[in-house]
Chains A and B, each alone.
Chain A
Amino acid sequence: MRFTPAQLLYAAIAGSLLTLSSLPALSDPRDDNYPFSTYPMFASRRKTPTFYKAEGRNAHGQWQPIPPELFGTHEVMQAVMTVQRAARSPRDARKLCEDLARAEPNRYGKMRIVQVTYDPVKYFTEGPTPQSRKVLAQCGRRSRAHESRQKVQAR
């Protein structure tokens, strides 16, 4: 059987794409890439994962999660990864905090980057109490009420 040059060309292109698509089977699933992925989503065993998140304090003094839109995306995962990467060093955490505060100066009086550890199943079955919580960076303007409260406490 003889093949035409066009058939050989297509076989080479398709064969290469299929080989490159299959090769991630040999690597560590955590070494993900695009478009030749190991598809590691939902595969890992998670016990008490640590979350990194950004919070803003509203006019009523309550801390709220900062929505993905403030990170310049509608994808929650992209926002998660942005905070996770920034949380690696105090400097980056501080910079992200300041960037977020600059992006929406009137919505939140203060912002902070926090590290929280939860048991995900217990969160839903027993209640949303964190196992641990640590503030990595805090920034933003101080409210007058807060400052005067601090002065009173200092006296």
Chain B
Amino acid sequence: MTPALHAILKAPPQRLGLFRAAVGAFLVLYLAARAPLDVMTSAHSTAQFAPVGLPAWLGSDAPLPLPLVVLAYAVTLLAALAFTAGLHFNIMGPLCAVGTLWVTSYKSSWGMVFHTENLLTLQVLLLSCSPAAQAVSMDARQGRASWLRSVPSGWPLLACCLVTIVAYLLAGIAKVKLSGFDFMTGEVLRVQVAYDNLRKIEFGSAHAPWGVWAVGVPGLFPALGTLTLLAELGGVCALIHPRLALLWAVLVVGFHVGVLALMAITFAYPLSTVPFLCFFSLERLAPIQWLASKAEDRTPGL
């Protein structure tokens, strides 16, 4: 077994609890920030409704009335708060996962499938049916046990690591399938950057001035193309050693910073670094240990 796999699989419940709290906190902030925009999306005409994800699996062929859209969003947000706090997690965890899947699927059910929420949704799904509230949670403080407490804490963490690696690997495979390894020459990426900014300008939307500048510097793109493919195809290395995991996470976050700078596209979840926390021994970080010791002074729950 590699050092990275060993470290992940032997994770204590505190690490899983900390990761759940981090994912949940991001989810709460994200849902709260996006609520007006996402609810407004449902004002599209019925003709534009093209269900994907949960609405498609449920056979839904028409949009929901606005009050139901708002209700689903509100329930998901409340469930996400409980998910973050680890409160009644046996019930609220799965409810939060189903709600997140519904809300994000519904947003992508109007002709444009977004790629900014897949990883968040999949990690929430993997955590929701795990013993992620055995520590660092209200359930632990109040003595409520998880129905899945016999599942080792490392399993959900490894599953979250794998789903993260797979997401980027698929993006890399799509590039190789559609553009070949020529992607590394940078021309495909240069045209993409130009295309994306042109589309935004033509639609009267905010574009990325750095992207417009970069299109005029073709020598920049071979390095960017190569780094992009390295970041996307190299995720498996993160399972070899924790230092390689750190290197990969930095590379991927850097890739998303580049996408933001050159195309004004925000992948908020990876930019927050939260999805990569499952690769690391969070409980050993000095601020976390300090917080844990403070919490232990007050209650033995943490």
Q: When A17-B125, A34-B53, A76-B199 are in contact, do A43 and B167 touch as well, CB less than 8 Å?
A: no
Q: Which interface class (under 10, 10 to 19, 20 to 34, 35 or more) fits A? A: 35 or more
Q: Are A18 and B175 in contact (CB under 8 A)?
A: no
Q: How far is the CA of A79 from the CA of B41 in the complex (A)?
A: 11
- Check if B268 is an interface residue, CB within 8 A of chain A: no
Main DSSP-derived SS at the B contact region:
helix
* Contact segment of B2-10, B78-86, B143-151: B143-151
- Check if A80 is an interface residue, CB within 8 A of chain B: yes
Residue among B147, B174, B183 with max Cβ neighbours from chain A (10 Å)? B174
- Check if B219 is an interface residue, CB within 8 A of chain A: no
Q: Are B166 and A21 in contact (CB under 8 A)?
A: yes
Can you pick out 27 interface pairs between chain A and chain B where the beta carbons lie within 8 Å of each other?
A: A6-B151, A10-B148, A13-B129, A14-B156, A18-B162, A21-B170, A25-B169, A25-B173, A34-B105, A35-B118, A36-B118, A37-B118, A38-B170, A39-B115, A43-B175, A45-B188, A46-B195, A74-B37, A75-B112, A77-B112, A78-B41, A80-B199, A81-B112, A82-B111, A121-B191, A121-B215, A124-B197
Chain B residues in the interface with A (C-beta under 8 A)? 37, 40-41, 43-45, 48, 52-53, 101, 104-105, 108, 110-115, 117-118, 121-122, 125-126, 129-130, 147-152, 155-156, 159, 162-163, 166-167, 169-171, 173-175, 177-179, 182-183, 188-192, 194-195, 197-200, 202-205, 212, 215-216, 228, 259
Chain A residues in the interface with B (C-beta under 8 A)? 4, 6-7, 9-11, 13-14, 17-18, 21-22, 24-25, 28-30, 32-47, 49, 51, 53, 64-68, 71-82, 85, 99, 116, 118, 120-121, 123-125
